Amino acid sequence: MTSAIMAFLHHLAAFTLTGSIFYELVTFRKDLTLAEARRIQRMDIAYGVSAALILIVGLLRVFYYEKGAPFYAQNLFFWTKMAGFALAAIAIILLCAALMARGVGRL
C-alpha cells in the first residue's frame, strides 16, 4: 500500500511539473502585466516544488519501496532519466541566476 502511495505522489508531482511548464509556455510573452508576471512566478514556484518532490519521492522509491537500489544501479534507462533531470536542473538554475542578476526576479 505504501508503495502505491509513493507511486501516486511521484506521478502527481510529475503532472504538476508538466502543468506548470505548460502554463508558463502558454502565458509568457513580452508585454506581461505585473499580475501576469506574478502568476507565472507562482507557477515557477510550483515547478520547483514539484521537481524537488519528484526527486525526493523518486529516490525514496528507489531505495525503500520498489525493486531496490541494486536493480536501478544497473538500469541504463534509470541513469538516462537521472542525467536528463540533472541537465534540466542545471539549466533552470543558470537561467534563474541570470534573471536574478538582471533584477528580473523582483516583482
Output the nine-digit C-alpha cell for 27.
Answer: 502565458
Determine, yes or no, domain membership for 107.
Answer: no
Please state the rounded mean pLDDT for residues 83-104: 80
Residue range 44-79, pLDDT digits in tens: 889 889 999 999 999 898 898 888 889 989 999 999
Q: Model's pTM, two decimal places?
A: 0.76
Determine, yes or no, domain membership for 80.
Answer: yes
> Could you tell me which residues come within 8 angstroms of residue 68 by beta carbon, excluding any fewer than 6 positions away?
62
Distances, alpha carbon 91 to alpha carbons 32, 34, 72, 86, 88, in Å: 23, 25, 25, 9, 5
Of all residues in the chain, what percent are helix, strand and coil, respectively (each to 5)?
A: 85, 0, 15
pLDDT of 27 reads 84
Q: Which domain holds residue 22?
A: 2-102
Residue range 13-33, pLDDT digits in tens: 999 999 988 888 888 777 778
- Domains in the chain, number: 1
pLDDT of 19 reads 92
